[in-house]
Amino acid sequence: MKKLSRLIYGFALLSFSCDAQENGPKIQSPSTIDYTYEVVTDSIDIPWGLTFLSNNELLVTEKAGILYRVVDGVKTEVQGLPPVYVRGQGGLLDIAIAPNYQETGIIYFTTSSPLGEDKGGHTALYSTQLEGNQLVNTKLLYKGDYNTKKGQHWGSRISFDDQGYLYFSIGDRGNREVNPQDLTRDGGKIYRLNLDGSIPTDNPFVDNDNNRKAIYSYGHRNPQGMITHPETGKIWVHEHGPRGGDEINVIKAGKNYGWPIITYGINYSGTPITDITKKEGLEQPLYYWLPSIAPSGMTFSTSDIYPNWKGDLFVGSLKFEYLERLEIKNNQVIKREKVLDSIGRVRNVEEGPDGYLYVGVEGKGILKIVPKA
């Protein structure tokens, strides 16, 4: 594996706490930790998604529409992708191996797809298998309807719960007035499928023929982080707010997470979206960021490799170019720290099968965080 190490000595991690979620974080005195990072593979412009096939083999998606297979740090382009509609924030998005990958060899990925009668594109979920550097048996499992040429808010992340269901996200596609609250339309939703792409019979909206039966929750803006909590098995999602109000939500079946009826953010122009932040029947976030950090990627650290970080949540910041550690107790964020400050736009973070944290950074590639001895 190609390793280019850089030592970070006495790195100051800015710490925060939050007495009340709506008051925002309060800065406390900084703490320090020593660690190194190693470049696993470099020269990837936007490493959107990554998944491990083994300790030394991983797949990395490049948003421009390239899938890399990386073995011992050497990357090779994988052939056989379906059409990718690269526009704005859209392109080749997330990738994840199936929970039963060792038996089936199945891999899932999401992409901005031009398929359909309307011009433009929408988010699509595929299953596939890998033979050498070639995708085979690729199947379209789900694609959002109502294509649009808008380039924003495609989502999209993939995760699995402990019951074997697959979850994935689609952003509101830049149509906040219609898509997030309309169960007959795709966009602004979290979806749940069986591993074969079929729709579970107990999904919350299957009884109405007009509804999108794969929908599991709605009222989302642009979810670009999704992870299964290692202890509770619940699906955690974070999503981009507008100007302010990025959120962490714990997903529950059939629930409405409020966008754009309620929000802690405002328009990018500074004008209000709504003066309502809470409303009966609409879910409150577990946490929200003010100001926005533009979150992307999310994972929990579960190994003993970083003893002071075990159980903590890690989220990338596109806007401020760092990896954020959040210590959470009793569903409250009690501490925040910057990790890899000023490293670049952090696009993704994953815990590898070896227990190390791997970070996708735009223009750099995939970094591995290693505690300093």
pLDDT of the chain along its 373 residues, tens only?
434 333 332 333 333 333 334 434 532 333 456 788 999 999 999 999 999 999 999 999 999 999 999 999 999 999 999 999 999 999 999 999 999 999 999 999 999 999 998 899 999 999 999 999 999 999 999 999 999 999 999 999 999 999 999 999 999 999 999 999 999 999 999 999 999 999 999 999 999 999 999 999 999 999 999 999 999 999 999 999 999 999 999 999 999 999 999 999 999 999 999 999 999 999 999 999 988 999 999 999 999 999 999 999 999 999 999 999 999 999 899 999 999 989 999 999 999 999 999 999 999 999 999 998 7
Catalytic residue chosen out of the listed positions 122, 153, 220, 240: 153
Residue 105's pLDDT is: 98
Q: Where are the domains of the chain?
A: 79-292
Active-site residue flag, 220: no
For residue 94 the two structure tokens come to: 């997330």
Residue 32's pLDDT is: 56
Residue 372's pLDDT is: 83
Does this model's pTM top 0.85? yes
Residues 6+ apart with CB under 8 A from 36: 5, 6, 7, 8, 369, 370, 371, 372
For residue 162 the two structure tokens come to: 């402990």
Which homologous superfamily does the CATH classification assign to the domain defined by 79-292? TolB, C-terminal domain (2.120.10.30)
